[in-house]
Each structure stands twice: as C-alpha cells, then as structure tokens.
Amino acid sequence: MKGRTSARRWETGGAEERRGRRAQGHQDTGSRVLALAAASLAAAALLSGCGIRATSVPVDAGAAPSRVGCAPPTSTPPAAPGAETSQVRVFLVCGSRVAPVEREVAIPQGRSSARRVPVARALLEELTGAPPRSERATGFESAVPQDLTVDGGTEADPKEALRLSVPLDELPAFALAQIVCTFSDSAAADTNDAVVLGGPAETVEEAERARPLERFECGTALRTRPEAAETAGTRV
C-alpha cells in the first residue's frame, strides 16, 4: 500500500514538472514574439522618421546607377594630315553644365579681326560634329544643331560681330552656351574675350529688322548653368 502511494506521488510530481516546463516554454516563446514585434515597430519608426515608407513586399531596386565624372580624355583627336593646327578648348555638354575638352584644330594662327570668321567657322564645325568615342565615353555630347553656320556681320554691325544662321532665341540654351564659351578663348572673340552674336542678316535692312546683337561672356555662371544663356547677353 505504501509503495502504491509513493508511485502515485511520483507520477503526480512528474506530471506537474512537465506542465511547468511547457508553461515556461510558452512564456519564452511569447517573450521572443513580443521582442520581435517591438524590434519591427522600432525599425518602422526609424524608417518613417527618415521619410522612407516601410513595406513587407520585397523590392528590386536594380543595379546601382553609374556615374560619369565628365573627365576629358587624356588624348586629343588628331587633326587633318598636313594641316597647321592649334590646340583649342571646345566646350561640350556634360550632365547639367558645359565643360571643355582639348582638341587639335586646323585654324589660322594669331588673333586679328581678319581671322575672326575663319576661326569661328572652324570652331563651330567642331561643335556641330559628333564628339569622338573617347569623349562620348566620358559623358560629353553636343547640343549644337548640325546644320548651324556662322558668318560675319553686316556693314552696320560692329567689326567683332558674328551672325549665326539661326536666331538666338531659337537656339537651345545649352548650344548657345557651348558656342559662347568655345568662341570666347579664340580670335572669334573681341579684345575682352566677349562674343558678339546675332541671328541671320545679310543686309543692313535685315539687320535692323532682326533682333539686336548681343554680347556674351563665358563666366562661371554660364558654364555651370547653361540654361541661363537665354538671358545672359547684353544688347549691343
């Protein structure tokens, strides 16, 4: 009799011990769930504070965007064989600004009014042509229309005036900034490195009816904000 009582007590004690372990397991699981929930809420609060909306849906953002440094090539494109060349700076579009690249261009040597139009034509030809692969690979391109031409002014214009085949207000702002900055460091500019430009006019009468000539300078503002070219000129 005594043995049976001891056995029942042993069985009862074992059952209570097992129930205690199960209860402790449930408490541990509940604690882990609460901890994970608190961590998720904290992460969501941090994301909301940064302006990022939390989501449970996986998002594929794709590859990281590549960045082009607008660094000009180390080598300059060769000029025509046998031509007398000079190293010049040609301004191209790169990102949201215009920046120079070095090129060997066949242009008349020296700086004088007689060389203004030939130099302007040679430089404009560099702008209207497609940049070589080495320049395109580093982010450079041109906004200057391929059919754009340049000529001297009329008899009534100042001697430093140059007239383009398209009115200034019809040119893309980036193209105008390229032209101004490329011409400004050459014989196409006046003695103060400013460029006097106008639209097409072959006679004095046409010049009088056309939009007035404007003087442009290639300053930091124009190079970094080419869209400002539309209002950067001053009337001559």
Residues 202 and 121 in one domain: yes
pLDDT single digits (tens) 116-128: 999 999 999 999 9
Higher pLDDT, 41 or 174: 174
Residues 33 and 97 in one domain: no
Residues 98 and 210 in one domain: yes
Q: What pTM was computed for the model?
A: 0.69
pLDDT value for 85: 82
Looking at the domain assignment, is residue 79 inside a domain? no
Sign, CA dihedral 205-208-209-213, equals positive
3-state helix, strand, coil in the chain (%, to 5): 40, 15, 40
The edge-to-edge listing of strands for the beta sheet with 161-164 is 150-152, 161-164, 195-198, 214-216, 234-235
pLDDT value for 136: 94
Residues 106 and 209 in one domain: yes
Domain membership of residue 136 as a residue range: 85-235
Please tell me the total count of domains within the chain: 2
Looking at the domain assignment, is residue 132 inside a domain? yes
How distant, in Å, are the alpha carbons of 28, 32, 154, 171, 235 from that of 189?
Answer: 83, 77, 17, 19, 16
Residues 193 and 118 in one domain: yes
pLDDT value for 31: 53
Residues 133 and 25 in one domain: no
- Residue 131 binned pLDDT confidence (cut-offs 50, 70, 90): very high
Looking at the domain assignment, is residue 64 inside a domain? no
Residues 113 and 171 in one domain: yes
Cα separation of 89 and 86, whole Å?
10
